[in-house]
Amino acid sequence: MSRVFRISWYVVLFASILCAIAGVIFLYISSCDQACGAESAWFNYTIPDMEIKESDRADWETFQSIPLPLKFLMFPYFFVLIALLLRIIKKSQLLFDNFKNEILFSRSNVVIISKIGKSLLWYSIMTFGFTSLIISIILLMACEVFKNGAALQEEHDLTI
């Protein structure tokens, strides 16, 4: 599992860099179309047998009417989301490394689970994700269980 998280961290990092570059290019081209008064070819291209909803077309026109500086204000939001996602993946990798090394009930695992739970809580608030909110609450409850388990483990280790 640790290896899966290690690979996924690099995949998410690479994909986010590509999406950031594509987003900048997309925003630049859409602003050039708007400044020139040209009809954008981005939304007019359709795949055969694909219908575009009028609500999607209206959303696209609303997006195009937003000034370019305001469009670029969306980037910090996405960068924070990506940073939280990368942090969650990295901490999960550390946790599963500890599990692989048979380190279950330790203070370090309590800290790691706590950080994962808090990061996931912020992620769920920022994305309005109910499922991730429930998972973050479950992780924070598991953190308390691991805290008590770590205390019992320390007590057991000190017993002769």
Q: What is the pLDDT of residues 56-91, one digit of tens each?
A: 778 877 877 788 788 788 889 999 999 999 999 999
Q: In terms of Cα–Cα distance, which of 84, 150, 49, 71 is closest to 92?
A: 84
How far is 93 from 3, CA to CA, in rounded Å? Answer: 8
Question: Domain range for residue 144?
Answer: 2-158
- pLDDT one-digit tens code per residue, 13-53: 999 999 889 888 877 777 666 556 555 555 555 555 566 67
For residue 144, count other CB atoms closer than 10 A to its CB.
12
The domain total for the chain is: 1
Full-model pTM: 0.76
How far is 52 from 126, CA to CA, in rounded Å? Answer: 29
Question: Kind and range of the H or E element at 72?
Answer: helix 68-72
